[in-house]
Amino acid sequence: MLTASVKLIESEGLAALSLREVARRAGVSHQAPYHHFGDKESILAALVIHGFDALSARLDAAIAAARTLQDKVAAVGETYVAFALEKPAHFQVMFRPELVDLGRFPEAAAAGRKAFGKATAIFAALPGDPKVMSALLWSTGHGLASLMLDKSLPRRSATGAERRALARDVMRTLAVLATSSKRRTR
């Protein structure tokens, strides 16, 4: 049912998601999703958890493979953008508090904290205020990923390889700036 939900979101958009349509696409009775999830928000919460868990695992691998702080910062950003491009349905729901009440789904909130804890641990080693650096790096990666998914960048017909190269170049440039010992923030 989760696979059917992801495919539905990717092909028809978030607004098309309904338990009845998920059941139809999954080839189960229209009541089956209610037995497993209860409601639409529960399916979305499961997608949030799966998304953050997948992002967390990717961040672990990228950070472990990086040698320097600059490489680690770039790897976090590149991994974030690559995840968004490869899993757009998950990315669409992971940052939408109006879709998933994290108070109702504390495991979704915990999965998000775990994933971002990996990134913020790297950002805390940067010169300047860790909160400012985290906001700068996360908003840049998130914005870049969103623009790419929305096809709002000037190179609308860019291939996947071109998008990955642009993400790599942007995040590596930002990592160079972020790790500069001459840069200071208030």
Number of structural domains in the chain: 1
Q: Is residue 132 part of a domain?
A: yes
Q: Is residue 22 part of a domain?
A: no
Q: Is residue 6 part of a domain?
A: no
Taking 80 as the threshold, does the pLDDT of residue 115 lie above it?
Answer: yes
Q: Is residue 19 part of a domain?
A: no
Token pair belonging to 11: 């092909």
Q: Is residue 15 part of a domain?
A: no
Range of the domain at 96: 39-179
Tens of pLDDT, residue by residue over 55-113, are 999 999 999 999 999 999 999 999 999 999 999 999 999 999 999 999 999 999 999 99
Cβ atoms of residues 171 and 77 within 8 Å: yes
Q: Is residue 5 part of a domain?
A: no
- The domain spanning residue 137 has which CATH number? 1.10.357.10
Question: Maximum CA pair distance of the chain?
Answer: 62
Q: CB atoms < 10 A from the CB of 137, how many? A: 24
Q: Is residue 7 part of a domain?
A: no
DSSP assignment of 41-86, as one string?
Answer: HHHHHHHHHHHHHHHHHHHHHHHHH--SHHHHHHHHHHHHHHHHHH
Cβ atoms of residues 124 and 130 within 8 Å: yes
Global pTM value: 0.89
